[in-house]
Structure 1
Amino acid sequence: MKLDTCLLAALVALVLPLCSWTAALSSHEDNMVLSSTVTSGHWKFNDVTNISTFLLDPDTGMLYLGARDAIIAVDTAKTLMYRKIMWNVTEEKSSSCVTKGKTEADCNNYIRLLEFLGDGRIYACGTYAFDPQCAFVNISNFTLEKFEDGTDKMEIGKGKCPFEPSQHYTAVMAGGILYTATTSNFLGTLFDISRATGVEQERIRTERSINWLSDPEFVSSAFIQEDQNNNPTGEDDKIYFFFTEVAKEYDFYTKVKVPRVARVCKSDIGGMKTLQRRWTTFLKAQLVCEDRGSGQRFNILTDVFTKQHEPGDPSSTHFYGIFTSQWEREEMSAVCVYSLKDITKVMDGPFKELKRTCENWMNPEPVPTPRPGQCLNNALKAQGFDSSLKLPDKVLTFMRDHPLMENSVVAAPLLVRNGVTYTKVAVTLTPLSNSKHNATVLHLGTDHGELHRIAVVGPNATLLQEIPLFPASESINNILLYKDDALVGSPNSLVKLPAKGCSLYNSCEMCARAHSLGCVWSINKAACSLAATESGEVLKSDVLISRCGSSTERCSPEIKDLPVSEGLHVLLPCVQVSPRPCHWKHPPQRHTRRHLSDLEVRVTSESNGTYMCFCEEAGREQPACPRAAFRLLLQEPRASLSALQSSSRQFVASYILSFLVGVAVCVFVVCLICRHHKRGGGGHSSSTSEKGRDLLPSSDTPQSPSSSSLFSEAVPFAEKRNGTLNGHGGHISERKCGYIYTNSSGLKLQDTSLHLVDEFPGRERAGLEGEEEGLGDGLSEIGEGLSGLEEELAKLHVLRGAPLAQCEESSI
């Protein structure tokens, strides 16, 4: 017998039970499959990743996408067809980037800017391995312009595009000139809002001062062009920038972030002496998004959508912003809207000043004339100030030291949602039937690949749809509205789906929610349509409510009895129809945790009682509506749980025992062979050698039970994740953990009664069968010793059951 053979036998004894255990665990891994509920176009770019930029040609419907090392052109009228330009980084540039400490993934070319130049070309800028470069795309043949030697025609992109792919950034084209807000150095420590193109002498930027920009995170920008036919005061065009920065006016123990809006004027070209090549019109103000009822303030701005409420009237512009809170641990999002008139009023108000003597912010000394930060208009030109170069130094000095306004632009949230993180917003205005006012429909993208539609009419917000578009790992990073469609993008995909019309709501209940938009349920067509187009065939509002379920029925849910056992976790669902908050009433002695509007309960001996969910649907002035009710009934633990624990202990004990037996047998045989060679001396006494060969196949170690029986029948627990239980467009993202999940049809308990074998193989005596003459005594002693070891292993308290699979997220 060779030593290698013995060690191989021991290794097999160790690996076989482990392989069966691993196979059992792997049999429960779910493959995530994307299933889209939309019927419109869906583009999946398998060879392109990190799509971050949208540019739409409204005349042709061609959509241009900026991605990693590529620019894509998608004809939105032709599904599944697109063209691609590869714009890669040279090997030399990539190697240089890696040697500077950056990862290979970051040392690619991430296209962050796409803008039309108006001459049949697109201006494209990318990070280009932390050395921003810009190129020109010929639209007609969709190629990059090249030099005569065949190389790509590029120019320096510093100040036009960020260095790092993940850096916050925004840019806007105004009159053929590019205005950007980005970092301007390799380390990402310098921030500029600048005029990045145009005449070299007119390329100006912000002052490098924390009073101007303090560690900002740029979000969005907008160009507001005055109406040439209706501008009696001759006001200049303006560019607005939205960002979040660290507030210097609050002296707290920690950094306080605040959302800001900043404004510069299009004709500003800097000062003559003071503020040379710097903005002379840079003003900023704080945005306040506060729920006055609860006092909750949202201070992190994540996205802004610009919308003219009256097309052609710049003064009717509104800015819709998504906010989160710096202080809340749970996911929470709010949407606030600010009018251009309110922002202009604050910009024309008092300035904020820091008095160094007492370290308190207060109003400054009298403001010089002409007013600092004012854009050029007819009145200034009449006084001889037809250029920012002619402004007095005292005005520019005051402007340099006082960029912040005293007052804030205040708004109350249109909606607040717990457990949801919104990433992008787009807005459509829908005329109300029999009213001059419009309803606001918010198209909101989440960080879990969902599109939510919410209608806002006055103080009431109604959740219309929750549509899963992408896997939960892909956040929505672009929403663009074109004609009657919405183009929604993630880092890897693009979806086109309808954005307007009552036909979006394919059930009576969903149509009833959209009743404020003029939608009613048609009897003949069994479809949702506008009331004006279906006269004579549509139900009246009171009949519609009674057909879909009256408010009395919806607010009187049936109490469901749920038998539970101590130690289990139960997830009680609550359907959140409105984006307004929900709350639970339950027994005082309980162990609970919120998951969106649902409630997780850890069952204890004191968990018996009624659990009811109340949701606000008509505003704070109306009483909350009960949406769900459950009664937990504590019962004895199921016998299968104890069977699982007992079987698990036997499984682990048998596994360890088989390994130890294999090692002991090999050691004994090796010692036996060594003793034989010492006595027999070199290869005689064939009878002894024959005995040694007969001993090997006679050894028999206890066989470990296959672990597949422990896990093959297990049903994964479910926990709701980021969504509502909505049968009409709702989405449930689940996480496999140790929960019991309930739905509207009742309780679905975890099937812990595993189909075990009738009994595990007995812990056999770990000796050798068929002992040869002269060795029986020694083998008997070893068998007795291993039998004693078996008894000791059986007493170990640490072997209390096999571990379950760790939590992992999936999307349904």
Structure 2
Amino acid sequence: MVYPTSLCACLSLLTVLSCHSHVLPRLSFPIGSPGRSLTGFTNPDVYNTTTLLLSDNEDTLFVGARDAILSIDVSQTDAMTMKEKLDWSPSEKDLVDCAMKGKMKMDCHNFVRVLQVLNSTHMYACGTFAFSPRCIYIDSKTFSMVTGTSGKPEEGRGRCPYDPYQKNTAITVDGELYTGTVADYRGTRPVISRHLSEGSHVDLKLDDTLGWLEDPTFISSSYVPSEEKVYFFFSEIGKEYDFIDKFTVSRVAQVCTSDVGGQRTLQKRWTTFAKAQLLCQADLELPYNILLDIVSLPPPEGESEDETLFYGIFTSQWQVNLGRSAVCAFSLKDIKKVFTGRYKVLNRDTLKWSTRVQEQMANPGECGLHNASDNTLRFVKDNFLADKSVQPVNQGLTLVSLDKSYSNIAAQRVRGAHRRDYTVLYLLTESGYLQKTVLLENGAHIIEEIQVFHQPQPVKNLLLSVSKGAVLIGSSEGVISVPVSNCSYYWSCAECVLARDPFCGWDPVTKHCTNINTHDHLVQDVDEGNVSAQCTYVNPRSRSGQSRTPTSEVVSVSLNEVVHLQCPEASQLAKRHWERLNSQLSPRIYIQSDDRSLRFVATPSTLGHYLCQAVENGYTQTLVVYHVKQKSSPTILPATPNRPHSIPTTEAGSKPSVFTTRLITPKQTELRPKPEDMDPTVTLKDSPTTTTRKSRNFTRFSNIDKENSQTEPGENLKQADKPTYFQELVVVSVLLALCISALLTIAFHRFRYFCHGRTVPQTPSTRRDGEKGGSATPQERESLKGHSPCLEKRNGQTPNGQSRNGQAHNGKSPITLSNSMLNSSNGHLPNTPI
């Protein structure tokens, strides 16, 4: 039964979860985009290049792959060249033994999972080696395999996992190897151990019988020199929570590098092991309890090592957070505070955890306990779980992704133009995108995302080379190098400032966006991205009082044609809208799609100029200007009110198509404008003078119909809209002539009709003309004989039946009257007054 309070609580949780703002990357670069260069290394004979290690000078990258270890030259940021390859494959007997154990053939290779610098002359590597882990030494100078004192590869149990799909962690400190992995074939014996110890130090491990670890998944390890401690990060089952289902928690554990184990109790076992929960949770929300990756970020120069931060990627086992990723930061100071606090106690009989109320005999996790008494060691053996959890920095989440699942993380501290430090995170998504994010006081800002893989790849390592300025990504198919900065992509001061990239600043002297390390006088505003405050000097009106207009894209269309105008995207954070000179875009006429394209039917009232503008952080820029005009036509279109420019006509004889569709998009002849073609002007929202700049994502249209165009691309809009009336004058003159001709024609026809009525014969006799004994008057006879002047004028014939040119018409009169016309009831001709 669910109580109303519980239901309300659940609804409240769902409401809070839905209130997370969706942080969008400002720019997105698909794979292969010329705007973002990548460097990759692939080899058809090399697979699973997932374990990465940089040399001290960061000129060489060592890669642990399948059946091989590689040495790659990365001294050049735009090239990765393999220098040497060290083959390390299992023998045929090893492969047969692995297959006999029931393992797949592909899993029986040697997957190098540990690759560490041991000292100035040697490296240390461990591999799964057909489900029988082995370890070797590598001479750093000759890059050759060196065996131990026995002359054979060392046993790798407890140093490297058996299964290539199991996660592990390893780190070397003063020539000793600290690992977190499983120590058996089945993977049921997790262990945190130390190896390669010499002198008074002995190899140590956890006591398997104490339940110090509960089915852990090891993620990472870090060494803090001031504390002389190694911290391990992992996820495991939280036995302290008495739930029906198993509840996964994220942990941080610590051991002291000076630990040598107890004299009688905890011999060759850790006496300084302690663990605590990492709580990545916001107020009134379910926690993100599964740790996926974590990285340490050293403090700024001159500050205490307590300011060291650990940035981790977390996900949740709860259905309500399914598909989401959260980033939380934890400080070393808070971790130390939790480890010096109270601890829970485990009842060995009931296997229940409880908070100890009696006075504690020692501080678990404190270094130097190996010399303590047996009673003290027994106390720390049962009290290794801290009572409180490590809370995230600022008691909240650093970043939440609602639609991207993060898998790996790297962090870097960058000093900006104003001597202020910024934290930059590199987050790799499971879909194959690398997001570069800067952390600000008002939240995270994703500067850009770069697609590095066509398809999702299993990534084991994400390594940052600070000196080379590159992020190295090891995947199953190769190694990808991504430059951390891309300043040359921003070609104007406004673009450089809006990027809010701490690596980049605008140089007002050279008019270029350049790396911040090369100059001290650069313009930058990472916190606000305020263009009006940083780029005021580029306003041309402040210098000459003249503003430049953007190039006009001329589009020739026919009437009743559906026009589709595309608007390029300046950034994913900009809001685009359409404007029209001296007119409003009515939704009854214009359709604006989700991609901000504009559709309308070409009519006399919809011809003209259309501007697509983008507004980002208070800065307005014009992306493209279209001049939609009609092709030349003999049909005269009435002038549209409130439209300053004339309406061009279409070609003679052409008929406009009915509702044909035409898509107008900017041409992609080149991706980026050349520096000499750049327009440094900007448009400020609050500025009384509005100037615009060229778009960086497209090049301008060429004239679509140069023969019929009246305004060339680049011509001033005012000159393009100047009215001319020569065509109207010619048309009006032609219309006047046509009207006068029509009036004359009508008058001529009326005169003919009048004459026709006057020439009708009027006689009461039924006899035809020429018959003897007729009673017609002399005047009537004269009319019947055809001597009427109107008849002569009307037919152009003489009274004798001759035409004016003297030719006869068969001897007949042009007018023949029937008997019915000559007879009437009153003896008179029709239509003749009595």
TM-score, normalised relative to structure 1:
0.57
Which residue matches 1:114? 115
Structure 2 residue aligned with 1:25: none
Out of 476, 499, 504, the residue aligned to residue 491 of structure 1 is 476
Cα distance change of structure 1 residues 363 and 80 upon mapping to structure 2, 3 Å threshold: closer
How far is the alpha carbon of 1:73 from its aligned partner? 0.5
Q: Given residue 256 of structure 1, which amino acid in structure 2 is its aligned partner? A: F
Q: Distance in 1 between matches of 2:494 and 2:96?
A: 59
Measured after TM superposition, the shift of residue 305 of structure 1 is: 0.8
Match of 1:541 among 522, 531, 538: 531
Q: Per the alignment, do residues 510 and 255 of structure 1 end up closer, same or farther by CA in structure 2, a change over 3 Å counting?
A: farther
Q: Which residue of 2 aligns with 1:103?
A: 104
User: Partner residue of 1:154?
Assistant: 153
Q: Deviations over 1:42-85 (max 9, x none)?
A: 21232211122111112251110001101010110252420211
Mean Cα deviation higher: 206-215 or 512-521:
512-521
8 A Cα contact 2:423 2:439, kept in partner? yes
Query: Residue 208 and residue 147 in structure 1: after superposition, are their counterparts in 2 closer, same or farther (change >3 A)?
Result: closer
Structure 2 unaligned segments of length 5 or more: list them. Answer: 1-29, 540-568, 575-593, 596-615, 618-670, 673-696, 699-834
The match for 1:322 among 313, 316, 329 is 313
Q: Give the Å deviation of 1:529.
A: 5.8
Task: Give the secondary structure class of the aligned counterpart of 1:298.
Answer: coil
Q: State the Cα deviation string for residues 692-715 of structure 1 (Å, max 9, x = none).
A: xxxxxxxxxxxxxxxxxxxxxxxx
Q: CA deviation at 1:404?
A: 0.3
Between structures 1 and 2, the one with greater helix share: 1
Using the alignment, how far apart are the partners of 1:203 and 1:419 within structure 2? 45
Alignment partner of 1:343: what SS? helix
Partner in structure 1 of residue 399 of structure 2: 415
Contact 1:506 1:528 in 2 (8 A): no
Equivalent position to 1:527, from 497, 513, 518: 513
In structure 1, the residue matched to 2:612 is none
SS in 2 for 1:272: coil
Instruction: Write the mapping of 1:17-36 to structure 2, written as runs, cut at 5 A.
Output: none
Q: Which residue of 1 aligns with 2:613?
A: none
- In 2, the alpha carbon distance for the partners of 1:537 and 1:344 equals 37
Q: Name the aligned partner's letter for residue 331 of structure 1.
A: G
Structure 1: runs of 5 or more not aligned: 1-31, 227-235, 377-387, 549-572, 579-596, 599-616, 619-726, 729-743, 746-812
Q: CA deviation at 1:322?
A: 0.8
Superposition map of 1:413-452 within 5 A: 413-434=397-418, 437-452=420-435
- Counting only pairs closer than 5 Å after superposition, residues 667-706 of structure 1 correspond to structure 2 as none
In structure 2, distance between residues paired with 1:574 and 1:518: 20
Task: Pick 1 or 2: higher relative contact order, CA cutoff 8 A, min separation 6.
Answer: 1
Query: What displacement does 1:497 show?
Result: 3.1
For residue 202 of structure 1, report the CA deviation from its aligned partner: 1.3
What is aligned with 1:69? Answer: 67
2:288 is the alignment partner of 1:305:
no
Partner of 2:236: 245
Distance 1:311 1:55, change over 3 A: farther
Alignment of 1:729-768 (within 5 A): none
Where does 1:432-511 land on structure 2 (aligned, <5 Å)?
A: 432-434=416-418, 437-482=420-465, 483=467, 484-500=469-485, 502-503=487-488, 511=496
Residues 414-451 of structure 1: per-residue CA shift (max 9 Å, x gap): 1100121111111111234446x521110111222221
- Note if contact 2:498-2:530 (Cα within 8 Å) is conserved in structure 1: no
Using the TM superposition, give the Cα deviation of residue 276 of structure 1 relative to its aligned residue in structure 2, in angstroms.
1.6
- Structure 1 position 486, deviation (Å): 2.2
Between 239-248 and 413-422, the greater mean CA deviation after superposition: 413-422
Report the count of equivalent residues. 508
After TM superposition, the structure 1 stretch with the greater mean CA deviation from structure 2, 121-130 or 56-65, is 56-65
Matches within 5 A, 1:154-233: 154-199=153-198, 202-209=202-209, 211-226=211-226
Task: Please name the residue that 1:124 is paired with.
Answer: 125
CA distance in 1, matches of 2:71, 2:145: 13
Report SS of the residue matched to 1:164.
Answer: coil
CA distance in 1, matches of 2:222, 2:202: 20
- Residue deviations 1:192-230 (CA, integer Å, cap 9, x gap): 00112214971111121464100000000011112xxxx
Aligned residue number for residue 568 of structure 1: none
Counterpart contact for 2:58–2:74, Cα < 8 Å: no
- Tell me how far apart the structure 2 counterparts of residues 262 and 273 of structure 1 sit (CA, whole Å): 24
The amino acid across from 1:406 in the alignment is D
Q: Deviations over 1:485-519 (max 9, x none)?
A: 22222222222232257456567776344437385
State the match for 1:622 in structure 2.
Answer: none
Identical-pair percentage: 35
Deviation of the 1:361 alpha carbon? 4.2
Q: Distance in 1 between matches of 2:243 and 2:62?
A: 45
- Structure whose CA Rg is larger: 2
Per the alignment, in what secondary structure is the counterpart of residue 55 of structure 1? strand
Of 130-139 and 42-51, more deviation after overlay is shown by 42-51
Deviations 1:339-370 (A, max 9, x none): 11110000000001246899874321434444
Contact 1:449-1:476 at 8 Å conserved across structures: no
Aligned to 1:606: none
CA–CA distance in 2 between the matches of 1:64 and 1:502? Answer: 29
Distance in 2, matches of 1:99 and 1:324, equals 38
Q: Kindly tell me: are residues 463 and 204 of structure 1, through their superposed partners in 2, closer, same or farther at Cα, counting changes over 3 Å?
A: same
Q: Distance in 1 between matches of 2:434 and 2:475?
A: 11
Change (3 A) 1:164 1:438: same
Match of 1:41 in 2: 39
Shift of residue 298, structure 1, vs aligned partner: 0.6
